[in-house]
Amino acid sequence: MTGSKLGGDVLAMEGNHSHHAISFDKNKGCYVSRGVAVLLGIIFVSGLVVTGLLVYYYAPQVRETQQQAVLVPQNPSSVRKPLLTRRRTTTTRRRPSTVRSTITTAKVSTTPIATTKEESPKGNIDVRLPRALKPLHYLVKLQPFINGNFSIIGYVEVEMEALEPTSNITLHMADIITRNETITLVPLGDLDGPGLRIKKHEYDNERQFYVAHLEQELQPGHKYLLSMEFLGYLNDQLHGFYRSSYRDTDGTDKMLAVTQFQATDARRAFPCFDEPGLKATFEVYLARTTNMSSISNMPISETIPMEGEEDWVWDHYDASVPMSTYLVAFVVSDFAYLSATANNHTLFRVWARESAIEQAEFSRQVGPIILTHFEDYFNQSYPLPKQDMVAIPDFSAGAMENWGLITYRETAMLFDPAVSAASNKQYVVAVVAHELAHQWFGNIVTPRWWTDLWLNEGFASYVEYFGINYVEPSWQVMEQFVLNEVQIVFGLDSLESSHPISIPVGHPDEISQIFDRISYAKGASIIRMMNHFLTEATFRKGLSNYLDAFKYDNAEQDDLWRHLTEAAHEDGTLPDDLTVKIIMDTWTLQMGYPVIKVVRSPDGTSATVSQERFLLVKEENSDDTHEYRWWVPLTYTTEDDPNFNNTQAQVWMKDSEAQLTIPSLPSKEQWVIFNLQETGYYRVNYDDHNWELLIHQLFTNHRVISTINRAQIIDDAMNLAKAGQLMYDTALGVYNYLVEETEYVPWAAAINNLSYLKGMFARSGGYGALKNYLLDILVPLYDSVGFEDSVSDPLLDQYKRQKALSWACELDHPDCLYKAASFYNHWMSNPDNSSIISPNLKSTVYCHAIAVGGEREWNFAWGQYLKSNVAAEKNRLLSAMGCTKHIWILSRYLEMAFTPSSGIRKQDAFRVFGAVARNEVGRSLAWTYLQDQWDNIFEFYGKAKSRVIKSAINNFNTVQQLKELRLFRREHLEDLGSATRAVQQAIESTKINIAWMNANYDVIVDWLDMNGYSTKLNNA
Ligand SMILES: [Zn+2]
């Protein structure tokens, strides 16, 4: 999965799965969610049913037991005969040739379907399925009433093998009503026999288990077929099988049905063994009306008219390869598509609503190129005959890698060259590459359990850069990696409330919490580090062997480490007594990362190197007694022979070593630099003298130091200063050279770090002086890039301009504000001319024109938002409307964000909230709103949304704010769910900010004073 994007940042994935929406209300003893309750209300109260047959077909009543409730039909005799005929000829079922070979593999690995290892800490409930049964094949038939009451008539058959004797069948199910009298169990060898009697149906709502209790035991080695009919619901919570809508060009509202199953929501579409380690083949039937089309993971094998329903047909799909439930996907829509062919054997189609289909052209072009590139990179053919990619109007994450049917947010797949910015284009390629990388890493070989999610996401997040680089080498994305991934995640990972990337999880809330920046960006960063210390050739060899060995199977991180070690020993890139596991366990099983302190001898010719966990603030009374040490690949270069290209470890620092000595360095007048190209996941600090040498080198000729290492020196220096490990004098001394800097990556690192100072000072008396200092740094850059944008400039130059302009306006630079307002006014007089403002500059122009403007400017933006057909443009306008300084408009805007049918989609509410919270005028409004409207916002999402909470409390730095935050956590402890860690991190960040203000505010004010940026007004 890919997270969605906010502003210039690719935000970490967060829990997109609304587990609270299950809301099993124990008091009422009913297990359906509000959504299903509404459906039932429709069916039973108003009788507003499209097909009519539903009314008597499903008339459930609730039968309660103490812990479970199972719905049974009230009047089984009136039930129409099953609409689907059970397939009895399972032996004749057509299977792709790939399946046969994998069944052998599967047999070897059937035993370790672990349930004991990862227990949920949450109340110690083990939410894992019993391991007595292994699913082999599913037949799923679903008839979604998209243009009706949103019910789904479903039927499922599961073929399974008993691995242990068992007298119950337990599988996952949520928001589904079973028709208990249709549930049958027969031995596979005796399909027409009487079957096995089920003596009791049970529903365990805590675990989301359906349990069939049997009269007799199932025998190990025997196979059985369980089948049942059920009723489901197309919810509006963006998970499971859900509904989405859009307004067509003629003004009519159109509906579609789409799925999002990762991590634990396949169970909302049909009862299944919903764990990634329980792979099976899937044979899907989707019913649709003839004016729509359907898509699933595999190609359609036949379309069959539906008996007795004139406008309905069944699309019957080829059986899939063995796969995990979370990768199954369905889309039923009236979308249009464009097609292409990748490498002569894969049909490639891109889908979107018809009025946006031309915006899919860019994805149609790059998708097949990247798919082909990855076949080569992973040394393995793409196994399916087709790949569909669909842009969905309502989508919770950024995109989802469903096998053969990738779903996207519109902004992640659609690109309009006339309207979308260069960063939108890179984002589209990045997300397409990310999801295509998953087709191998994740889909062919899948983590056995969510603990290894980081491996999936870290790999896709790393390899996506190879995909982008292949399509557009001029974009220099390998340089951007340091900026977008390493330096960003360093921030989060320097908190005590960080977490190891490999983490035991059980409960769905815990699973969705780990779809965060640590899993994605840290995962990608340490895989990059590994790639560099192993070398590219060894890395790819080990990777390809691993993918081959576990094809259609599941694996754990140790399996990958084993294959990489073998390759490394063969190639001699690791010493024989060192394994990848020894090294990588220190990076995956412990949280955080080290700062390497380099202290040179008095004559400079040797250095003592030590490692220590880097924390922004060391808690005095921390109960964490773990001794943090890593296996650190040390790389370095020196002034007498600068070479930044050798990124293999020159020296390994062991996790048993607190320090070591590096000999043969140049004399003390020449600098050393450690961590070449910032490929190591660590920061570097030096003695004062070496810092002086570096500052001097940057000032005299910065090009001697590689671009990435210039960005590294800036980022390390500023963060060491933030943590009190380096004087701000020294850190800001690094900035002196920037007048000569022309490259984007060091500039962006510099600006990103200044934004922390700006955020801390924003509400203090010293802000004016700081602003003048920041302007002095930025204005030369602003003047050099100019307000005239050109899409023919190199991409990083376009980014540099975008960054400089946005900062200059942010710092109230008069020329910037004037130009922003003029461009916007010009546009207001010519509202249909979308080319007045360059796409790259639109965000800045919109935001600052609205900030200096009034109601008229805001209303114009709202009108354009409604009118626009391009999702990226809509996003920009949504963010910009949060820039107004009029508090009543902001207040109205917040209300609109959480009001269905206000014109703002549910998926975009966080964007509106975040924009208001980032605005200095809106910040306290947003925080108050969150506290006052907690229940409504919770209900709106069906859960606590960590992204909304995080943006509300960004830059908190007072004791009073900390108090409010703690009170907030106390009051909502029960509700926080998958946002729990985010709130913990926010509390820690606030404490860090308070400590930072105490330690540094006066120091920086003095420094500003001394450097001619007085904070005091003349009173004479
Ligand atoms: Zn992903």
Question: pLDDT tens digit string along 870-916?
Answer: 999 999 999 999 999 999 999 999 999 999 889 999 889 999 999 99
Ligand 1 centroid–CA 327 distance in Å is 12
Q: Is the pLDDT of residue 856 over 50?
A: yes
Strand locations in 421-506 (E) = 445-447
Region class of 996: left (phi > 0), else alpha (psi between -120 and 50), else beta: alpha
Residue among 375, 435, 510, 741 flagged as catalytic: 435
* Tens of pLDDT, residues 338-360: 999 877 789 999 999 999 999 99
Give 1014 Cα–ligand 1 centroid separation in angstroms. 49
Between the CA of 820 and the centroid of ligand 1 the distance, in Å, is 37
AA letter at 551: K
Beta pairing partners, 187: 224
Q: Which helix or strand (DSSP H or E) is residue 488 part of? A: helix 487-492
Grade residue 842 by pLDDT with cuts at 50, 70 and 90. Answer: very high
Pairing of strands 60-64, 607-613: unpaired
Arithmetic mean of pLDDT, 355-383: 96
Helix (H, G, I), strand (E, B) or coil at 751: helix
d(CA 368, ligand 1 centre) in Å: 19
What 3-state DSSP class applies to 599?
strand
Mean pLDDT of 157-175: 97
Q: Are 305 and 295 in contact (CB under 8 A)?
A: no
Beta bridge partners of 93: none
Confidence of residue 171 (pLDDT cuts 50, 70, 90): very high
Would you say 528 and 458 are in contact if contact means Cβ atoms under 8 Å apart? no
- Please tell me the predicted confidence (pLDDT) of residue 513: 83
**Cα dihedral across residues 601, 606, 612, 614: positive or negative:** positive
CA of 612 relative to ligand 1 center, distance in Å: 31
Q: pLDDT tens digits, residue range 584-607? A: 999 999 999 999 999 999 999 999
Whole-number Å distance between alpha carbons of 7 and 914:
10
pLDDT over 80 (residue 837): yes
Residue 2 Cα, ligand 1 centroid: separation in angstroms? 5
Give the pLDDT score at 73: 32
Q: Provide the pLDDT for residue 208.
A: 95
The 10s digit of each residue's pLDDT in 215-261 is 999 999 999 999 999 999 999 989 999 999 999 988 899 999 999 99
More confident residue, 800 or 38: 800
Task: Indicate whether 619 pLDDT > 80.
Answer: no
Q: What is the 3-state secondary structure (H, E, C) of 531-543?
A: HHHHCHHHHHHHH
Q: Mean pLDDT: which of 92-106, 393-407, 931-945 is highest?
A: 393-407
Distance 362 CA to ligand 1 centre (A): 21
Residue 367 CA to ligand 1 center (angstroms) comes to 16
Query: Omega into 263 within 30° of 0, i.e. cis?
Result: yes
> Cα(559)–Cα(556) distance, rounded to whole angstroms?
5
Average pLDDT rounded to a whole number, residues 71-78:
33
Distance CA 910, CA 946 (A): 10
pLDDT of res. 985: 86
Task: Report the separation in Å between the CA atom of 49 and the middle of ligand 1, taken as the mean of its atom positions.
Answer: 39
Q: Which of 20-29, 293-302, 610-619, 682-691 has the lowest mean pLDDT?
A: 20-29
Mention every residue, 6+ apart, whose C-beta is less than 8 A from residue 317.
Answer: 283, 284, 285, 286, 296, 297, 298, 299, 300, 301
Residue 1007 has pLDDT above 50, yes or no: yes
Does residue 37 have a pLDDT over 90?
A: no
What is the 460 CA–ligand 1 centroid distance (Å)?
A: 6
Cα 405 to averaged position of ligand 1 atoms, centre (Å) = 14
The pLDDT of residue 124: 65
Asked whether the CA dihedral 967, 968, 974, 976 is positive or negative, the reply is negative
Q: What is the per-residue pLDDT across 760-819, written as a single tens digit (0 to 9) for each?
A: 999 999 999 999 999 999 999 999 998 889 888 999 999 999 999 999 999 999 999 999
Say if CB 478 and CB 469 are below 8 A apart. yes
Which residues neighbour 433 within 8 Å (Cβ) at sequence distance 6 or greater? 370, 463, 464, 465, 466, 467, 468, 471
Beta strands in 466-606 (DSSP E): 553-555, 594-600
189: amino acid identity, one letter: G
Distance 514 CA to ligand 1 centre (A): 12
Instruction: Look at residue 218 in the predicted model and tell me its pLDDT.
Output: 96
Confirm if 492 and 498 have CB atoms less than 8 A apart: yes
How many angstroms separate the Cα of 969 from the Cα of each of 495, 514, 927? 18, 20, 13
pLDDT tens digits along 101-140 = 322 222 222 222 223 233 334 456 889 999 999 999 999 9
pLDDT, average across residues 996-1003: 94
Q: Where are the alpha helices (DSSP H) in 835-979?
A: 842-852, 855-867, 871-881, 887-897, 909-918, 923-932, 934-941, 946-952, 959-976
Listed range (117-131, 506-520, 620-634) with the worst mean pLDDT: 117-131
**Distance (Å) from CA 10 to ligand 1 centroid:** 12
The CA-based diameter of the chain, rounded to the nearest angstrom, is 103
Q: Which residue has the higher pLDDT, 988 or 621?
A: 988
Averaged pLDDT, 397-409: 96
310 tagged catalytic? no
Residue 62 — pLDDT band, cuts 50, 70, 90? Answer: very low
Contacts for 751 with CB less than 8 Å, ≥ 6 apart: 778, 803, 807
Nearest to 327 by CA among 252, 272, 276, 393: 276
CA of 231 to the centre of ligand 1 (A): 31
Cα separation, 591 vs 502, in Å, equals 9
Which residues are 445's β-sheet partners?
Answer: 441, 553
Q: Measured in Å, how far apart are the chain's first and last C-alpha atoms?
A: 62
AA letter at 264: T
Q: Please, what is the average pLDDT of the chain?
A: 87
The answer to whether 1001 touches 760, Cβ cutoff 8 Å, is: yes
Distance from C-alpha of 543 to C-alpha of 553, rounded to nearest angstrom = 15
